[in-house]
Copies of this chain bind each other. A is one copy, B any other.
Amino acid sequence: MPIKKIHVHIENARKKASIFHITQELWDAACLRHRTLARNLSVTIGWDGDMLETALKTAGMVIGVPPRRDDLRKRAPCLRWLHATSAGVDGLMPLDWLPRGVVFTNNRGAHGGKAEQYMRMALTMLNTRMPELIANQHRHHWQQLFSPDIAGKTTLIVGLGDLGEGAARAARQLGMKVIGVRRSARKSRFADSVHSYARLDALLPKADFLVLAVPLTAQTRNLLDRRRLDLLKPTAGVINIARAPVADYDALCDKLRRGELAGAVLDVVEPEPLPSGSPLWDTPNLVITPHISCDDGERYIDISLDLWFEDLARLLDGKPLKRRVNPKLGY
């Protein structure tokens, strides 16, 4: 007797980079890796809404949040689970559009491995004075700027989720002291100590490197404001792999220009793409990377679908999903 299959609709956006596209081929490969679970699924894969309204009529699960989210109760009467293919869901807040009873998850967990590698690079680049060396190369100027051992220095990481723990692993592996800050102040095996936000001001002066790895929420917006930037040592380096509005970039650039900070590596800016006229591009001792720090260029979708199947198994077992977004916290 045939069991009624669950209809999974995948909604792709062509304007996103191709590494984020869930193609039939990648879906099929994931189904092979998760055979038993995949047996009860039937899939539709849409692009830029080309089949969205039809698919929503019967879809029990949707991967990829549609740009138009009004009236979802009526448009998607069978929907039980909606999954965002990004970890940051700040652009979808507040969740007033989400029908009651629909589980909403994000893609946390897909970014830690690449984040760890990026952080190893960014930390060693700042320690090696690469921002200065890059500028010197550009102006054809040979100057031997030596640098000390990175081991023994202190990295302060704000936010200890998937990205922050990746950063902590990197810093720990480089022999650094790792101090974490997170809402819960819950310990991490990759950090020497973890504190609540109430301790942030007292910790900033200790940092040789400050890493921002928090989700953007009402609480974290402008977290690293001008006053807090002034608490950092002038020899400190700042790395942001979170979201641009978490820090006051005007104040950060002022400090870099005045030599009151050693350097910064920013993987996130606002807006993205950064306009060619932005003063950020030419700020001294600032390295900009185009929001590429945490996404695996070859396996992003493989990693993401594996995490989705992990949560599917939990859903079918009646367990709480691991990546459920808390509407109050905003992540």
Residues of A whose CB lies within 8 Å of any CB of B are 17, 19, 113-114, 117-118, 120-121, 124-125, 127-128, 130, 133-134, 136-138, 140-150, 173-174, 272-274, 276-278, 281-282, 287-292, 295-300
Contacts and interface: CB of A to CB of B under 8 A. Distances in A.
A289 B292 CA distance: 24
A137 B17 contact: no
A281 B114 CA distance: 30
Contacts of A147: 292, 297
A138 B138 contact: yes
Contacts of A144: 17, 290-292
Contacts of A295: 146
Given A140-B278, A142-B274, 14 more contacts: A17-B144, A118-B128, A120-B124, A121-B125, A124-B124, A137-B288, A138-B138, A140-B276, A144-B292, A146-B296, A147-B297, A148-B297, A148-B299, A173-B173
A130 B121 contact: yes
A114 to B, nearest CB: 7
A147 B296 CA distance: 6
Nearest to A17: B144
Given A144-B17, A173-B173, A149 B278 contact: no
A130 B134 CA distance: 11
B299 A113 contact: no
Nearest to A133: B289
- The oligomer's copy count stands at 2
A292 B145 CA distance: 7
Nearest to A150: B117
24 contacts: A19-B146, A114-B149, A118-B124, A120-B120, A120-B174, A121-B121, A121-B130, A124-B124, A130-B289, A136-B290, A137-B287, A137-B288, A138-B138, A140-B276, A140-B277, A140-B278, A140-B281, A142-B274, A142-B276, A146-B296, A146-B297, A148-B297, A148-B298, A173-B173
A107 B146 CA distance: 18
A124 B117 contact: yes
Contacts of A124: 117-118, 120-121, 124
B136 A134 contact: no
Contacts of A150: 117
A288 B149 CA distance: 20
Contacts of A136: 290
A281 B137 CA distance: 6
